[in-house]
Structure 1
Amino acid sequence: MIIQEVINHLETLSPLSYAEDFDNVGTLVGDVTAPLTGVLVTLDTLESVVDEAIAKNCNLIVSFHPIIFKGLKKLTGKTYVERVVIKAIKHSIVIYSMHTALDNTFEGVSAIICNKLELQHKQILIPQHGTIKKLTTYVPKDEAKTLRNALFSSGAGSIGNYSNCSFSVEGNGTFKGNTVSNPTKGTKDTIHTEAETKITVTFPKHLQSKILKTLLETHSYEEVAYEIITIENKNQHIGMGMVGELQNSLSEIDFLNHLKLKMNTGCIRHSSLLHKPIKKIAVLGGSGSFAIGAAKAAGADAFVTADLKYHDFFSAENSIFLADIGHYESEQFTKNYLVEYLTKKITNFAIILSKTNTNPVKYF
């Protein structure tokens, strides 16, 4: 088994095309064609984590946060980032990062928080725009069903909670092949009229290459006419943050105790108590101040996130309860989830949960 095969499983879970534009995800260091010896899963790739990978004979580190975020102009070992990269290269270790690609996945970071807090009826808080494409093509009428089913099998025809969606219109197409053409319908150098079906299907943008491959392999024409556009529908399964509901309402104090217990944190910074019951909760792992407005708009009673600044707490405006549980604390269970996911997919290699605590924040 080569390293790329593990990466394929990770990119099925969270396609890199859904990462934020500012992010640096995917393979950051190393040769993905190398034979796999073992996988170490971590939240951050520090030098101590690379040492752990060496000790445990793992030549793939799956890291949530990217160790290389900004461009590196030198590799002299003067910074912790440079030392990590140098050591990984020296020991032929691949570093792969998921970060906002996993943040934007329906079963990603925010869903993990929701599950820990036992929230029901999960929905994306901020759906990502531009993630749904529409394919339109034209096929001989007697081949329409075959092509349509092939496109469905490749992942086309899904939108929201619906699958096998398409729209078809019948009409007549005309074409004339030149002297070097090889038409499957009609004869070259002669105008031909063919009864055709216009087929339109939607698909998630990360499947575009697969959808086009299926179209071209299934369609009988030598030249296949098609168009792809981006539609404006919100993607219910891709985006930042989530909102869900507790089975039963809690007081703010009881909710804070619930939060401390489930998220394994002894310190929660929060806004003023509103003395209102809490049932509907928005969550966003990592730095989530930008989503306060979205949490309000969703009608959430509370918003659980991290890295709130002094003035962010004023944004509560006595309409929502803000709880900052810490950046590491909000994402700490991500690596456990990835270990469980990969263990189910790969049974003949060890998927190891890193024992290194990479939280740089300490509490007195």
Structure 2
Amino acid sequence: MTFIKEVINALEQLAPPSYQESYDNAGLIVGTGQEEVTGVLLTLDVTEDVVAEAINRNCNLIVAHHPIVFKGLKKLNGKNYVERTVLKAIKNDIAIYATHTNLDHVTNGVNWHIAQILGLQNVRILAPKKQALSKLTFFSPIANTQAILAALHEAGAGNIGNYSNCSFRTEGTGTFMPNDAANPVIGKNGAQEEVKEHRAELIFPSYLESAVMTALRRAHPYEEVAYYINSLENENQEVGAGAYGELQEPLETDAFLHLLKEKMNLQVIKHTAPHSQTVQRVAVCGGAGSFLLANALQSKADVFVTADYKYHEFFDAEDRIMICDIGHYESEVFTKNLLYNYLSGKFSNFALCLSEVNTNPVRYFV
């Protein structure tokens, strides 16, 4: 038996809600999360047709990339497609969960998936986030340091890029005097004490602070744990917008455009003039990505693959990079496959369904 909240917990391990942009509305939009899962329908968008599909396929949870409620609702009377969709889901006891910019911002998220489809190697975050990391410094008796660090690593602290269990420690002398109300592990009440201690430091994602502190307090022998936490300005190389990587071999520009069209299942590509005769380094951003042009240029990418470019924004390429606008839907529709692959590795006792509804509001006459 699996409850909806368990599926949500798994999704939030992949894409923590704290990584969504301030304007976003990711998370559980309809439902309580307390219901047992009968099936999960995976989709890019939620529409009335998608809710109908969930009903027909006995799925009581819809997991979408785009939040159906984005700007907030003041009334719920069915006057537009958003209100009608929400009402239909509520009437049929279907929960709706969205994982949006938080899924954009993580490795193995939306942009990583695009890079994988295109066969890019050595993939990196295009615009790493700042202020997403914290540093924990704690002091402990030397004999206990390793056990405490093991608990902290288990809680998610000490990971730097491709390296885990990272920490730094120095040795010194800790001094303290327990008062009469204390229950000291070392020393006696009212007596000054000196203990050989380690000062240990390690980095962790800021959103894990509660879990990290719980692990520290449980593993530390002292009644009062000496520690402090600092917010860091460091860029978190594991979190941020966009991605870039290299093709295994350089391709002629036309060959790359054919590859892009084939792999992303495109009818059309809007693009600027080629920057060079060949393409090897490619920057990508699912959805509207014009805000990342400077980062794409800084990465020395030959091509920037994204969507929703406005006419005058194409001029910003200035023969320094080729911008390829492949369409918003086309750049993110594969997100449901990403979610399918992830959830199928976590759960096996209910149906995972890829939505067959084409939610793209844009049509092409070719």
**3-state SS of 1:75 partner:** coil
Partner residue in 2 for 1:205: 206
Per-residue CA deviation, residues 75-130 of structure 1 (Å, 9 max, x unaligned), is 11112111122222222211111011110111111111111111111111111111
Per-residue deviation, 1:312: 0.9
CA distance in 1, matches of 2:102, 2:219: 31
Per-residue CA deviation, residues 217-257 of structure 1 (Å, 9 max, x unaligned), is 01111121221112222222211111111122222222211
Partner residue in 2 for 1:118: 119
Per-residue CA deviation, residues 204-225 of structure 1 (Å, 9 max, x unaligned), is 2232222111101011111212
Partner residue in 2 for 1:134: 135
Per-residue CA deviation, residues 253-311 of structure 1 (Å, 9 max, x unaligned), is 22211111111011111112345211111111000001111111110111000000011
CA distance in 2, matches of 1:188, 1:274: 74
Per-residue deviation, 1:347: 0.8
Partner residue in 1 for 2:27: 26
What is the aligned-residue identity percentage?
51
**3-state SS of 2:55 partner:** helix
**3-state SS of 2:238 partner:** coil
Structure 2 unaligned blocks of 5 or more? none
Segment drifting more, 223-232 vs 213-222: 223-232
Provide the aligned length of Structure 1 versus Structure 2: 364
Partner residue in 1 for 2:15: 14
CA distance in 2, matches of 1:89, 1:231: 42
CA distance in 2, matches of 1:307, 1:184: 62
Per-residue deviation, 1:350: 0.6
Q: Name the amino acid aligned to 2:162.
A: N
CA distance in 2, matches of 1:29, 1:178: 53
Deviating above 3 A after TM superposition, structure 1's stretches of 4 or more consecutive aligned residues are none
Q: Name the amino acid aligned to 1:124.
A: I
Partner residue in 2 for 1:187: 188
Q: Name the amino acid aligned to 2:109.
A: G
Partner residue in 2 for 1:224: 225
Q: 1:172 to 1:328 in 2, by over 3 A?
A: same
Per-residue CA deviation, residues 123-156 of structure 1 (Å, 9 max, x unaligned), is 1111111122110111122211211222122221
Partner residue in 2 for 1:330: 331
Segment drifting more, 315-324 vs 249-258: 249-258
Q: Name the amino acid aligned to 1:305.
A: T
Per-residue deviation, 1:43: 0.4
CA distance in 1, matches of 2:351, 2:128: 35
Q: TM (normalized to structure 1)?
A: 0.97
Partner residue in 1 for 2:357: 356
Partner residue in 1 for 2:167: 166
Partner residue in 2 for 1:148: 149
Structure 1 unaligned blocks of 5 or more? none
Partner residue in 2 for 1:83: 84
Q: 1:183 to 1:237 in 2, by over 3 A?
A: same
Map 1:58-73 onto structure 2 (within 5 A). Answer: 58-73=59-74
Q: Name the amino acid aligned to 2:215.
A: T
Partner residue in 1 for 2:49: 48
Q: Name the amino acid aligned to 1:152.
A: H
Per-residue deviation, 1:189: 3.3
Per-residue deviation, 1:175: 2.3
Per-residue CA deviation, residues 193-214 of structure 1 (Å, 9 max, x unaligned), is 2222111111122322221111
**3-state SS of 1:237 partner:** strand
CA distance in 1, matches of 2:293, 2:227: 42
Segment drifting more, 163-172 vs 59-68: 163-172
Per-residue deviation, 1:188: 2.5
Q: TM (normalized to structure 2)?
A: 0.96
Question: 2:275·2:302 contact (CA, 8 Å) conserved in 1?
Answer: no
**3-state SS of 1:221 partner:** coil
